[in-house]
Amino acid sequence: MIDLSSPHRKRLILILIGLAAIGWVFWEARQSLVPFALGAILAYLMTPLVSLFQMVFPKRGILAGFGSVFAILLTYALFLTAFITAGYYVFPPLIQETVEFIEAIPRYWDISQREFSLLMDWYEDEVPDQWKSQIEENLASLGSQVLSTTQSALMATLGAVTSIVGFGAGLALLPLWMFYVLKDREKGAERFYTMWPRHWQTDIRNVVTIVDRVLSAYIRGQIFVSATVGVATGLAMWAIGIEPVLVLAVLAGLTNLIPILGPVIAFFIIALVTLATEPDRIWLVAIAFIGIQQLESTFLVPRIHGHAVRVNPAIVMILVVVGGTIWGLLGMIVILPIAAAIRDVFVYAYNRIEVPEDEDELEAEPPPGQLPLEPPENNSS
């Protein structure tokens, strides 16, 4: 029977019940909360800039109480300026190239099929039969796995945006909601900590710090890496002469958000476009992609992500499949930092549990409040 007489235990049970109720409500309304999830990511990315601007405002005087408001408004202004600038210089040609790219997809597919048929003729004539059986079996297995994962990811992604009314309402309220999140983030954090028993608060703060370190290192780092890969891909396609440059650069940057699988998807799309437009330059495209991936894996990722996300590539592949099956495309993107944060929190909790070195120590140090056992009498005499 659990002892509920302690006020701390009553509070803990009340907190757990409240969190479970909130989690159930969020899960039931998950389709309408997609804008708020995006807003939370944006607010998280804006937090360092808001904190930087807050340091400029005076801590005393009339303006002291308005520092956070001005900092948030200034951050909004910078993001809005960047968005308008991109909308004026980047979006029009990007939209035009995207329309042309979509219209040309049937032509790309027909030409790619002809090129593929030529490649299959070479395959049938030149590759030994014993190699063919192994290659075909491996490709069939890989194709079925990729198809199954893609179908699950698309179904989960489409299911997340079916509630149009709730989605639109959340999108309309997003700027105001982000404003209050950024304004009251410190007060909200302190209230969250004080809800827990006092002797737990240090551990709760440490857990939040661990999660924040992993997420900040991954999210901000991944956005920078994906932007760099997109720019590098665009420059490479421009130098090689593969059009449309902007569309292919954006595709490379966005797909790079998906660990391991993203670069493969980007290369597959760009390879199809290359085979349909400039088939003799496919080897230059392949060399460019190998160079970009080497730049990412050996220089960008170790220096930007640091040691916050340390997951074996084989495990990453499994996580991507699991994330895509559960949460769709978004799950394929966020599953890696979530898994890394859970791992680090588990290690912290594991190390916080004090275990005696051996059974002798366990017997020598009885639990608090109990006296040690008296040594047995010596009856040898």
The stretches of 241-312 forming alpha helices (DSSP H) are: 245-255, 261-277, 282-295, 301-304
pLDDT value at residue 15: 79
pTM for this structure?
0.67
Least reliable range by pLDDT among 133-147, 149-163, 307-321 = 149-163
Is the pLDDT assigned to residue 196 strictly greater than 60? yes
In sequence order, the 6+-apart residues with CB closer than 8 A to the CB of 322 are 331, 335
Contact 67, 58 (CB under 8 A): yes
- Region 29-54: mean pLDDT is 80
pLDDT band at 328 (very low <50, low <70, confident <90, very high): confident
Is the pLDDT assigned to residue 13 strictly greater than 60? yes
184: its two tokens: 């009251």
pLDDT value at residue 236: 94
Domain extent listing, the chain: 12-127+164-186, 201-352
pLDDT value at residue 4: 57
- Give the separation between CA 339 and CA 309, rounded to whole angstroms: 9
CA atoms within 13 A on the CB side of 38: 15
More confident residue, 8 or 289: 289
pLDDT value at residue 360: 46
Over residues 220-231, the pLDDT tens digits come to: 888 888 999 999
- Region 104-127: mean pLDDT is 74
Percent of the chain exceeding pLDDT 90 equals: 10
Over residues 348-365, the pLDDT tens digits come to: 988 888 655 554 444 444
Contact 344, 214 (CB under 8 A): yes
pLDDT band at 159 (very low <50, low <70, confident <90, very high): low
Most confident of 28-37, 270-279, 306-315: 270-279
189: its two tokens: 């954090």
Is the pLDDT assigned to residue 125 strictly greater than 60? yes
